[in-house]
Amino acid sequence: MHALVARLYPLCRSITGDGVRATLGILAEHLDLDVHEVPTGTQVLDWAVPKEWNVRDAYVMDADGARVVDFRRSNLHVVGYSVPVSATMTLAELRPHLHTLPERPGLVPYRTAYYAETWGFCLSQSTLDGLGEGPYKVVIDSTLADGHLTYAEHVVRGRTTDEVLISCHTCHPSLANDNLAGLAVATALASRLERPRLTYRFVFAPGTIGAITWLARNRERVSRIRHGLTLACAGDRGPLTYKRSRRGDAGIDRVMAHVLRERPHTITDFSPYGYDERQYCSPGFDLPVGSLTRTPYAGYPEYHTSGDDLDLVSPESMADTLEALWSAVEVLEGDGRYLNLSPYGEPQLGRRGLYGSIGGRSDTKQAQMAMLWVLNLSDGAHCLLDVADRSGLPFRAVAEAAQALEAAGLLKREGA
């Protein structure tokens, strides 16, 4: 996963353009992607697909021919969606188009101007402090023209048409944690899924406008979504953070609360600010979609700066995020309601070989308690996640107990 982040890191992404296509091209080496191109001007809900932006070069050059600000060194140096510029100007004339972080003088900020035709450069405050009065040659070799918005989907078909949505944004340039780590973890998760019960739909789209475009083009499909997550900031060293769906008590909210309880974490309530969960949870759709990050949106000092680099994300953190997601998948796949076929008194487990089958295990007591809890709450009204939450036992232990009891003829699963 870290190697994938490193490979994607140099690409200049935005909400449209060749950088997004190149990113999806690399992901397509790992997953079968269905890539969609939506033309400029297409009406998508209350929005329209914008013009496509591509940039080839951008710089501020001093009188000695030195590039004091250089897109080739970092794609953060140019404000996203900057219109073409070729001019000579003094520092005073250039200054309104320069963006810095005075409070963090060594970092370059990330700035965009998606829906206003303007231009600009981002640089460190320390670089700005060292500039003379000029003149400077100022060049942004870009195009802003009719084109397409590009997004992609990867679908792992299940035995049912009920869907789990995993959504990642693809619109940020060289920011390793805020979007690239999420793309890498989602790719690893998709690669691990084999013959699931539910159908898993992975959406790789630019933030806000991409999710809105997907929703506009898939209104007939959204009724199939039973659970969903937006995935971002998946590789920093902070603990995991889960933001609940707008509903607050959706199945995914319960699942994530259960799987996170055994690792350091924070759970927050929904707010209509953050990543694309706010689009999926808009009131007209109100989908059961939460958000999983490590340190959340704008919560770490390097957020939307050049400090969000390859050193900020760690293989260990991405692996931990992946394992939390896999634990959630195990719950989503294994949960269900069962009916105790011998509900009058406790059935004799010993003569059915159930105690003997778990004897000698290091978790023998846990396995026995799981069987007793499953038998007691398998009344058709409680699901296995109810059993796990009420008993305090891991879901995996509860699911294994249910499988053993069903095999022994003591339980019957209800529904799919």
Can you say which residues are annotated as belonging to the binding site? 172, 178, 304
Q: 3-class DSSP state for residue 88?
A: strand
Tokens of 177: 């944690």
CA distances from 312 to 178, 303, 383 (A): 10, 10, 40
Are residues 305 and 104 in contact, defined by beta-carbon separation less than 8 angstroms? yes
Residue numbers belonging to the annotated binding site for Zn(2+)? 172, 178, 304
The burial class, CB within 10 Å (0-12 / 13-18 / 19+), for 345 is exposed
CA distances from 26 to 21, 190, 194, 204, 251 (A): 9, 15, 22, 12, 33
SS3 per residue for 326-361:
HHHHHHHHHCCEEEECCCCCCCCCHHHCHHHHHCCC
Q: Which two tokens stand for residue 293?
A: 């990050």
What are the two backbone dihedrals, phi and then psi, of residue 184, each rounded to the nearest 5 degrees?
-70, -45
Two structure tokens written together for 20: 């997004």
